[in-house]
């Protein structure tokens, strides 16, 4: 009889195993997601957000040219995944030409391990990898309270235009990396996957 495959997420752990402690979160590893960890990463994202569509987005990005291997990062503790962050390629429509840029979305840490610095370590790791790749900037939609500590700022104040009027101005953020040049201004053009899954901005159900 086949041995059941261990599911490497905290949802596969007993409650005593998921009890967080400072000592345990110290030994969290942040690294590139492996190809065989798609299901585990999907579970982490679904549990972090409580919504399947965000996991669908990450998976679709990983399947698309926008999210070629090496742009997904995970937080691992004792063989279990507890956090995930996705970078993907989109474009900046600059006056001179289209510029390849990165988008950070989604970012999630499973509820049992939130507020222990793991989200911060995932973001900082993604920033370092993006700079290493020579990406000029990273855009995201998110809370300014959370992301400004990593160097993100309101993108419109830097002269960038959001890809949709449904993105609140304060939520549309950018961090400019060392490869950025002054002529790189204009509108963010999201990769097709964001539109196909309707994951851009906020919808008004009463409109
Ligand atoms: C957002 C998230 C990834 C942060 O990860 P984390 O490991 O809990 O965060 P850290 O421990 O690095 O940082 C904790 C700080 O983040 C803040 N924070 C956490 N979630 C936040 C949110 N949704 N909005 C604003 N601030 C948030 C906390 O208030 C805390 O701030 P403080 O240091 O000023 O007290 C995690 O809470 C999560 O997965 N949330 C659900 C999914 C989600 O909303 N993802 C972000 C989409 S933009």
**Is 50 exceeded by the pLDDT of residue 104?**
yes
Contact by Cβ (8 Å): 87, 103: yes
**Atom of ligand 1 minimally distant from the CA of 120:** 12
Among 86, 114, 123, 140, which is best to mutate for testing ligand 1, by the most ligand atoms less than 8 A from CB? 114
**Is 90 exceeded by the pLDDT of residue 121?**
yes
Phi and psi torsions of 164, nearest 5°: -150, 145
Give the CATH number for residue 152: 3.40.630.30
Among 109, 126, 147, 171, which is best to mutate for testing ligand 1, by the most ligand atoms less than 8 A from CB? 109
In a domain, 17, yes or no: yes
Residues with CB under 6 A from ligand 1: 48-49, 107-109, 114-120, 142-143, 145-146
Instruction: Please state whether the peptide bond connecting residue 131 to the residue before it is cis, i.e. omega within 30 degrees of 0.
Output: no
In a domain, 202, yes or no: no
In a domain, 144, yes or no: yes
**Is 70 exceeded by the pLDDT of residue 14?**
no
Task: Say how many domains are in the chain.
Answer: 1
Among 146, 152, 194, which is best to mutate for testing ligand 1, by the most ligand atoms less than 8 A from CB? 146
Nearest CA residue ID for atom 23, ligand 1: 143
pTM for this predicted structure: 0.90
Q: Rounded mean pLDDT of the chain?
A: 90
Residue 111 Cα to ligand 1 middle (Å): 10
Nearest CA residue ID for atom 16, ligand 1: 146
Q: Tens digit of pLDDT for each residue in 150-182?
A: 999 999 999 999 999 999 999 999 999 999 999
Give me the mean pLDDT over the 130-148 stretch: 97
Contacts of 206 (CB under 8 A, 6+ apart): none
pLDDT at residue 7, rounded to an integer? 44
In a domain, 205, yes or no: no
Residue 115 Cα to ligand 1 middle (Å): 6
In a domain, 5, yes or no: no
pLDDT at residue 55, rounded to an integer? 98
Left (φ > 0), alpha (ψ -120 to 50) or beta: where does 34 sit?
Answer: beta
Integer Cα distance of 147 and 31 in angstroms: 20
pLDDT at residue 106, rounded to an integer? 98
**Is 70 exceeded by the pLDDT of residue 5?**
no
Domain containing residue 161 = 10-196
Q: Tens digit of pLDDT for each residue in 33-81?
A: 999 999 999 999 999 999 999 999 999 999 998 887 689 999 999 999 9
Write b or e for each residue in 9-29: b if 16 or more Cβ atoms lie within 10 A of its Cβ, otherwise e: bbbebeeeebebeeebbeebe
């Amino acid at each position: 009889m086949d041995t059941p495959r261990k599911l490497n997420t905290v949802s596969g752990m007993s409650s005593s195993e998921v009890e967080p402690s400072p000592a345990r979160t110290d030994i969290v590893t942040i690294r590139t997601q492996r190809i065989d960890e798609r299901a585990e990463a999907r579970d982490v994202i679904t549990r972090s957000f409580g919504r399947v569509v965000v996991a669908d987005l990450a998976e679709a990005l990983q399947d698309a040219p926008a999210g070629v291997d090496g742009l997904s990062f995970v937080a691992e503790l004792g063989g279990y995944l507890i956090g995930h962050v996705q970078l993907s390629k989109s474009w900046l429509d600059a006056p001179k030409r289209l510029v390849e840029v990165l988008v950070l979305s989604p970012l999630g840490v499973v509820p049992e391990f939130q507020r222990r610095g793991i989200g911060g370590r995932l973001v900082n790791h993604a920033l370092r990898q993006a700079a290493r790749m020579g990406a000029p900037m990273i855009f995201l939609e998110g809370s300014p309270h959370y992301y400004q500590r990593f160097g993100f700022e309101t993108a419109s104040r830097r002269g960038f235009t959001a890809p949709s009027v449904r993105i609140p101005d304060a939520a549309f953020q950018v961090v400019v990396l060392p490869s950025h040049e002054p002529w790189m201004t204009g509108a963010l053009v999201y990769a097709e996957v964001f539109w196909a899954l309707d994951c851009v901005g906020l919808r008004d159900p009463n409109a």
